[in-house]
Amino acid sequence: MPQRHAPATGRNRTYILEVLQRVLPKTGTALETASGSGEHAVYFAPELAPLNWLPSDISAENLASINAWREEFPSGNLLPPISLDVSKSVWSVETNPPQQAITAIVNINMIHISPWNCCEGLLAGAERILEPGGILFLYGPFMRGGAHSAASNEAFDAHLKVQNPRWGLRNLESVVALAESHGLECIEVVDMPANNLSVIFEAG
């Protein structure tokens, strides 16, 4: 069965959608990087129309899962998923762009479960792709001032580093500083349930 299930999506999707509905552009294409199972994509897309939703992932298994969810819950503005590696210096959407220009990039629960160079690649890609006023949305757990916001986040961070020493929760300040070096201004940080944050950047 190609459909994959990520339990966290059912817990966080309504809260994330509330922020997305407020901060994302109403038109164009929202590129979701590291879409995972595809459950967020099929939930968000119909609620954000007419904004097109373009899911993407590096994993063939995840792309198959996204397609399976898309077939079960079709939406006119949910585009077929594409293969995309955020760490690359040129993204597939740059060589083969969608019909409607990318006006937003959405990244949920990736930068702590990937090496730092993926965060670097994500922010560099956002600088290249987004026009002034475009939105980059990040969601996940972060450290602030080098400290964890909750014991559960500290335990999660340790668990991630056991799996891969290059993974782990990132300092929000480090991410913001790197984003600023790519012309992205942090315009809002939203406290979310379960000690997560939504971090919204605007391209200059």
Write out pLDDT tens, residues 66-121: 999 999 999 999 999 999 999 999 999 999 999 999 999 999 999 999 999 999 99
User: Hey, which CATH number is domain 7-203, 3.30.530.20, 3.40.50.920, 1.20.1260.10, 3.40.50.150?
Assistant: 3.40.50.150
Question: Degrees (nearest 5) of the Cα angle 107, 113, 114?
Answer: 85
Region 169-188: mean pLDDT is: 98
pTM metric for this prediction: 0.97
Question: Degrees (nearest 5) of the Cα angle 51, 55, 57?
Answer: 160
pLDDT at 135 (0 to 100):
99
First to last CA, the chain: 43
